[in-house]
Every structure is written in C-alpha cells, then in structure tokens.
Amino acid sequence: MWKRSALLAAVAMSSAWAVQAADYRVETLAEGLENPWSLAFLPDGGMLVTERTGQLRHISSEGELQAEPFSGVPEVFVSGQAGLFEVALDPEFEQNNRVFLSYACGTSKANHTCLASATLDGQALTEVEEIFRVTPAKAGSAHYGGRIAFLPDNTLLLSLGDGFNYREESQKTSSHIGSIVRLNRDGSVPEDNPYVGQDGALPELYSIGHRNVQGLIYDAQGQRVLAHEHGPRGGDEINLVEPGKNYGWPKITFGVDYSGAVISPHTELPGLEQPLLHWTPSIAPAGFSLYRGELFPEWDGNLMVAALAGMEVRRVVLEGNEVVEQESLFGELESRFRDVRSGPDGALYLLTDAAQGKLLKVLPGN
C-alpha cells in the first residue's frame, strides 16, 4: 500500500496550473494481470478486466481474481498494440447480461478493430456475435482505438485508430480508419448518424480526423462526448466530440513525427476542430474517466487521464469547455497507467500496463 500526505508535486507546465492536493492511499486489489487494458464494474460488486493478450478476467465481489478466464472470448489478433481492448456492460445489463468487447481481429497482413456482443453466463461468454469491423483492412499492429461509450439513447460510440501508417485515411469518409463510429447495440446504423445518405460515405461514421482515440466518455451532466487521443511526438489532445465534425488529423497537429519531421505546418485550418487541451511533450493518454463520488469531493466532476509515457494520471479541471487546472497524480508509483475508472463506491481504480499488471484502488488517506 502507498500513501500520500497532503502534498503531491505537479509539474508546472503553465501559469494556469493550480494544485488542489488530496490525501489518498493506494491498495493493490489484483496482481499478475497480463497487460490489463480495460475495467468494468458489475452490479454485484465484482469487476471484469480485459488482458490485451486475449483473456477476459473476473474479480469477484469479495475482491478475488478468479484463476480461470472466461471462455468464449472471440478470436483475437495479438501482436504489438493489437489484442483484446475494452469490455463494456450493456446499459440494460441487469436485464440481459450482455457485454461488448472491442478487439483486433484478422492477421498481420489484414486486420481490423472489431466489436462483438455476448451474454455473460457464469464464467463463459455465450451467444457471441461480431457486430462491427473496420473497413478497410490494414497491415501492421498499431493504432486501433477501441474505447466504447454509450449515449443516452443507448446507441454506442466506438473509437478507432489510424493504423499508424494509414493516417491519410482519417480524412476520408469512405473509411472507418481514424474515426469514431456510432452504432445501435445490434450493430445496425442509427438513422440520424451525420453521414447517413451522403454519397460515398460510410454511414457508421460519427466524427473523423482522429489519430488514435484511447479515451472516450459521455458526460451525462454536461451532455457532451469527450475523447482524448495520442499525438505523435507531442500533440496529444482532449476533444469535445460532436457529430459530423472533423478533428483535423493529419492536416493539423501540434506534434511532429517520431523522426522529428514535420507532419503538417498547420495547427489550425478552417473547418477543422481545435482541441480543448493538448500536451507537448506527449504523455501518451490511455484510459479516461470522469470522477463522480463523495470520497474525493475535491475531484468531483474532474477528468482523469491515464498516461503511459507520462507514468501518471492527469487530473484535468474544466469550467464549461475551458481547462482551468491540471494536476499530476500517482507518479510516485512509477507505473504506466492503461486505464482509470471512477468506481460506484467513490474510489478511483487504476490498471497498470505491464506483463505483470495490477489493479489498484485509490481511497482517502484518512
């Protein structure tokens, strides 16, 4: 267990930063998870955890990691960044026991981000059905996106990546690559999607011009969709996502290529959306959560961004759509953080990205 007293240093990157420190302690709930990627809370107090290597794990309501993973998980392409990604409960899970899984499927020469639904039946997935796969296929094993968020009408958003070597696809409405798509829960297309009926456009598209969206949330109180995405070297972004909008990649970016080469001389152009916040150097944002709870009242309503390269969770305070504060949390753990979740009990939950990853629980220090 780790404990922080009243002060944690934040890296001052601008005069807009202000630190409102909270006392906390960090407990380890589960160890030995193989590159855990996503966490979902079950109504009975248990949890589901995905491992990128293709396993769906169960942590009981007593906090015990079950030895055997769920059977019935779809066949997953595992290589590099490819693997099993998000697990999300159907909004009507208590009635239908349905879950959704995003994952890489295919082969090294032709693969996709895929989405399946299934029924949770004991320690098995049954009635497994693939309901969506990205068009076109791509080669390689990078930039899949894979986050899921449900809207108030019970349609779902699925974030996608640009495939790393396919970034020009992000500007095409004839491609899912580098986009966010919106689907009905059976995989069909909502009739009011923004590109429905447009000549040559894929009807699933919700927004385009993204690089690799690995954070996606619906803020019910603000009635808005927020997403974050990896930049290249610099230029990570948080965006307010609205239907039919173009978020610019790779025509505009605040980052440069890994070689140092210029990707675009532009950080803004007409018709392309600006981020609410961008980070240079890159923190490599991964999971994303909106904290709601009474255990940390000073965090209520704040965004929590899990960071891989940054080895932190970045707390971001918004007033409306303006960023007014940031704080770097949990750097003392010296871990790459893949996911962060606001729990139903008011605690904050973290997944560390490692071959022997951990599930951590953050509670008040007092």
- Taking only the tens place, the pLDDT of each residue in 218-251 is 999 999 999 999 999 999 999 999 999 999 999 9
Query: Of 1-15, 215-229, 324-338, where does mean pLDDT reach its minimum?
Result: 1-15
Q: Are 114 and 102 in contact (CB under 8 A)?
A: yes
Residue 58 lies in a domain: yes
The dihedral region occupied by 57, where left means phi > 0, alpha psi between -120 and 50, and beta the remainder, is beta
What confidence score (pLDDT) does residue 47 get? 98
Residue 101 lies in a domain: yes
Q: What distances in angstroms separate CA 189 from CA 80, 97, 148, 345, 365, one per listed residue?
A: 31, 23, 16, 35, 47
CATH of the domain at 76: 2.120.10.30
Q: How far is residue 283's CA from residue 235's CA, in Å, rounded to a whole number?
A: 9
Residue 89 lies in a domain: yes
Average pLDDT over the chain reads: 94
List the one residue out of 346, 286, 292, 288 whose CA is nearest residue 311. 286
List the one residue out of 232, 247, 342 whose CA is nearest residue 287. 342
Over 90: is that where the pLDDT of 9 sits? Answer: no
- For 307, other C-beta atoms within 10 Å of its C-beta total 26
What confidence score (pLDDT) does residue 20 get? 46
What confidence score (pLDDT) does residue 366 get? 77
Q: Is 255 exposed, middle or buried (0-12, 13-18, 19+ CB in 10 A)?
A: buried
What confidence score (pLDDT) does residue 3 get? 60
Q: How far is residue 332's CA from residue 96's CA, in Å, rounded to a whole number?
A: 41
Half-sphere exposure of 268 (CA within 13 A, CB side): 6
Residue 301 lies in a domain: no
The tokens for 6 are 């009243």
Which residues are the active-site residues? 143
Beta bridge mates, 35: none
Q: Are 336 and 354 in contact (CB under 8 A)?
A: yes
List the one residue out of 281, 339, 333, 279 whose CA is nearest residue 308. 339
What confidence score (pLDDT) does residue 362 get? 98
Residue 227 lies in a domain: no
The tokens for 354 are 């490692």
What confidence score (pLDDT) does residue 154 get? 98
Over 90: is that where the pLDDT of 15 sits? Answer: no
CA 77 to chain centre: 19
Q: Higher model confidence: residue 355 or residue 20?
A: 355
What confidence score (pLDDT) does residue 64 get? 94
What confidence score (pLDDT) does residue 236 get? 98
Give the model confidence (pLDDT) of 30-44 as tens digits.
999 999 999 999 999
Residue 332 lies in a domain: no
Q: Is the pTM of this model over 0.85?
A: yes
Q: pLDDT band for position 54 (50/70/90)?
A: very high
Residue 62 lies in a domain: yes
Over 90: is that where the pLDDT of 52 sits? Answer: yes
SS3 letters across 231-296: CCECCEEEEEECCCCECCCCCCCCCECCCCCCCCCCCCCCCCCCCCEEECCCCCEEEEEECCCCCC
Over 80: is that where the pLDDT of 11 sits? Answer: no
CA 229 to chain centre: 9
Over 70: is that where the pLDDT of 6 sits? Answer: no
For the chain, give the percent of residues with pLDDT over 90. Answer: 93
Residue 112's domain comprises 34-137
For the chain, give the percent of residues with pLDDT over 70. Answer: 94
Over 60: is that where the pLDDT of 262 sits? Answer: yes
Instruction: Give mean pLDDT, residues 58-66.
Output: 94
Instruction: Give mean pLDDT, residues 109-115.
Output: 98
Give the model confidence (pLDDT) of 145-180 as tens digits.
999 999 999 999 999 999 999 999 999 999 999 999
Exposure b/e, 151-169, CB count within 10 A at least 16 = b: beeebbbbbbbbbbebbeb
Q: How far is residue 33's CA from residue 127's CA, in Å, rounded to a whole number?
A: 26
Residue 57 lies in a domain: yes
Q: Give me the phi and psi of 298, to 5 degrees please.
A: -75, -15
Over 50: is that where the pLDDT of 209 sits? Answer: yes
- According to DSSP, residue 95 is labeled H
List the one residue out of 305, 307, 302, 306 whose CA is nearest residue 281. 307
Q: Are 316 and 323 in contact (CB under 8 A)?
A: yes
Over 70: is that where the pLDDT of 13 sits? Answer: no
Q: Are 263 and 250 in contact (CB under 8 A)?
A: yes
Residue 361: helix, strand or coil by DSSP? Answer: strand
Structural domains in the chain (count): 1
What confidence score (pLDDT) does residue 22 get? 78
What confidence score (pLDDT) does residue 155 get? 98
